[in-house]
Structure 1
Amino acid sequence: MPRYTKTAMLLHWLVALLIIATFFLGLSMVAIHGFSPTKLKYFSWHKWMGVTVFALAVLRVLWRVTHKPPAKLASIPDWQHMIAEGMHYLLYFLIFAVPLSGYFYTYAAGVPVVYLGLWQMPAVMAANPELKPVLQNVHYILTMTMAAAVVAHALAALKHHFIDRDVTLKRMLPL
């Protein structure tokens, strides 16, 4: 069975777990009313995770460009391959767009991003109170789109594994 490389698997699962954790941390932090040390800590962690997702996404794309993925399974109809390819393009776009939109939103709010509390990331823009709510909304919409795409991607993998009983999921599992 042709499989993805160990590096591709590692990057896939690291990014997936970080996206899920970042999503739920984001939901938790915005549910905290008012301004508190806990909320501030969660916002910092959320930003750090977003920067990490972005960096891993860059590595993932570089790996994908330089390492050919396994061949398509002949047992899967062409229309499903086309949908899967479209979903992968959407996910790659969102893996970059969500952290970038959060980054721009943070700077529009006038708050620096200090990665791991150690390194201040470059300021991409000055504080902009008019743009802040627009970027907040963009970040929210992209995030919810990503959540839906991740769920659809996971459900498709499970469908292939449990219903179609093909090796689609196994090719990305490090077993």
Structure 2
Amino acid sequence: MLRNSKESFGLISILFHWIIGLIFIGQIALGYLMVRVSDFTLQFNLYQWHKSFGFLVLGLSTLRLLWKSANLRPRDPATLSPLERVAAHGAHVILYLSLFVVPLTGWAIASSSPLRIPTFMFDLVVIPSLPIAISDSAEAFWSASHAWLAYLSAAVAMLHILAALHHHFWKRDTILLRMLAPRAVRNGGRHAT
């Protein structure tokens, strides 16, 4: 089942979710590590990898949004309270925005830096700079924005993960199951014990 059904997500949506999610979490770790490395050559390479994966997240997120707009959204399980529905919707909006805003602010850092270091995406293509002001203050602004947005996104992603685990192990509903396997969820919104 490639497409979403009324009860669960299809394989394409599931792959987008997990691949982008894992890369995004890896980007948080890589971003934290790369600014703490003292070896210049290693740091340069880590920055290039970080920028490359950032552009990959941006591209995959664009494809994911297009796929999402062309597919059904599975129904929420009946076990979801009105407050949980609002919280889930808010978290999803923040996470979707993060998939675009965080990479774009990273691109703005590279574009505004007076060092003018080109971005070599996976050593295959040079990414052009954005048409923005180049200065130390602009680079500092975009760096701070990128870092704060990344940490905020990581916190919301952690809450998202904890909520999914809470639903699976505590409420025993199908929230997590429908993002693990491309099949219709059975048992009236509750998974078997």
TM range, normalised to the smaller chain? over 0.9
Q: Identity over the aligned pairs, expressed in percent?
A: 30
Q: Which has the larger radius of gyration?
A: 2
The answer (yes or no) to whether the contact 2:168–2:174 under 8 Å persists in 1 is: yes
Aligned to 1:8: 13
Superposition CA RMSD, Å: 1.4
> Residues of 1 paired with 2:181 and 2:80: CA distance?
22
Deviations 1:60-106 (A, max 9, x none): 10011010121111221111111101110000001111000000011
Residue among 144, 151, 154 paired with 1:137: 144
Matches within 5 A, 1:73-152: 73-109=77-113, 110-125=116-131, 127-152=134-159
Deviations 1:42-76 (A, max 9, x none): 00100011000110100110011010121111221
- How far has the Cα of 1:122 moved from its partner? 2.3
Q: What TM-score comes out, normalization by structure 1 length? A: 0.95
Matches within 5 A, 1:40-79: 40-79=44-83
- How far has the Cα of 1:129 moved from its partner? 2.0
- Of residues 131-140 and 103-112 in structure 1, the stretch that sits farther from structure 2 once superposed is 103-112
> Residues of 2 paired with 1:100 and 1:38: CA distance?
24
Please identify runs of 4+ aligned residues in structure 1 that moved more than 4 A.
none
Q: Does 1:18 align with 2:23?
A: yes
Aligned to 2:3: none
Residue segments in structure 2 that go unaligned for 5+ positions in a row: 1-5, 183-193
Residue among 172, 175, 182 paired with 1:168: 175
Deviations 1:4-25 (A, max 9, x none): 0100000000001101111111
> Residues of 1 paired with 2:122 and 2:134: CA distance?
22
More contact order relative to length (CA 8 Å, sep ≥ 6): 2
Deviations 1:87-137 (A, max 9, x none): 100000011110000000111112222211121112213532220101100
> Residues of 1 paired with 2:34 and 2:103: CA distance?
16
> Residues of 2 paired with 1:29 and 1:45: CA distance?
10
> Residues of 1 paired with 2:118 and 2:135: CA distance?
13
Counterpart AA for 2:177: K
Aligned to 2:185: none
> Residues of 2 paired with 1:174 and 1:128: CA distance?
48
Counterpart AA for 1:145: L
2:35 is paired with a residue of what secondary structure? helix
